[in-house]
A = this chain, B = another copy of it.
């Protein structure tokens, strides 16, 4: 297999909506996915942190993948989240996503017990050897509980179909370091919303973000200004414009804040799964003001 890198640009993460009775709401999921796929984003990513992946059971994950593929209808590539605590379950979901037509899968090593680098390497190697689509190795110690250094990520990238890295530590120095140790052609993506401009300046291929559920045009405009036009002054302007929303969704938690934003915009997406609670009323009000300002 060659170093296949099927993703670039704005990669939009979808939330998983629920019905009032707690079941996954596949109808609304398809509605939201269809809307995002039509908004101009370059890829769609179900079952990320935004999609409440770890709170879903096996059957629900499979149903979300299938519903997503149907809603996307091949317009853009699909990047499917498949992470589980055990290697066996991760492998199971990766294979399911491959069969369903995903362009790539995203894998974050998850901790209860802290994993050694050897354990993480074998986890990826085992999953990669059973797939023919590429893997994006996802580093986010704040959620997954494990930190992978640029040096270790470069080692993971030696596994044939681990071809992409998503960096979410919020430290742009990691991205420059990754280029240093993995080569300047390394395909890395930014997963830290407040770092979007800095990451593109550092050479990121794409931005993995939940924000397109609310502001796809602003996200796309940043990409165009900095990557396509190379106009830093314009890029800074459009970045600072969307920064309050980016900061808000990061601080309040992605599923919670995106759900609140969608409801403020008129789409019912139901409760989060317990123990997760909805956005408190005062924060909802703050979000309403941020969104209004962006619409002017």
Contacts and interface: CB of A to CB of B under 8 A. Distances in A.
B203 A236 contact: yes
A176 interface: yes
Dominant SS among interface residues on chain A? helix
Nearest to A123: B275
What is the total number of copies of this protein in its complex? 4
B197 A176 contact: yes
Contact of A170 (B122, B171, B197, B253): B171
A275 B180 CA distance: 29
A255 B240 CA distance: 36
A30 to B, nearest CB: 24
Interface stretch (A63-71, A94-102, A106-114, A259-267): A106-114
A239 B55 contact: no
Interface string A233-247: 101100110011001
Contacts of A123: 274-275
A98 to B, nearest CB: 20
Interface stretch (A6-14, A80-88, A158-166): A80-88
Interface of A: 22, 49, 53-55, 85-88, 109-116, 118-120, 122-123, 126, 143-145, 170-173, 176-177, 179-180, 184, 194-195, 197-198, 201-203, 226, 230-233, 235-236, 239-240, 243-244, 247, 253, 255-256, 273-277
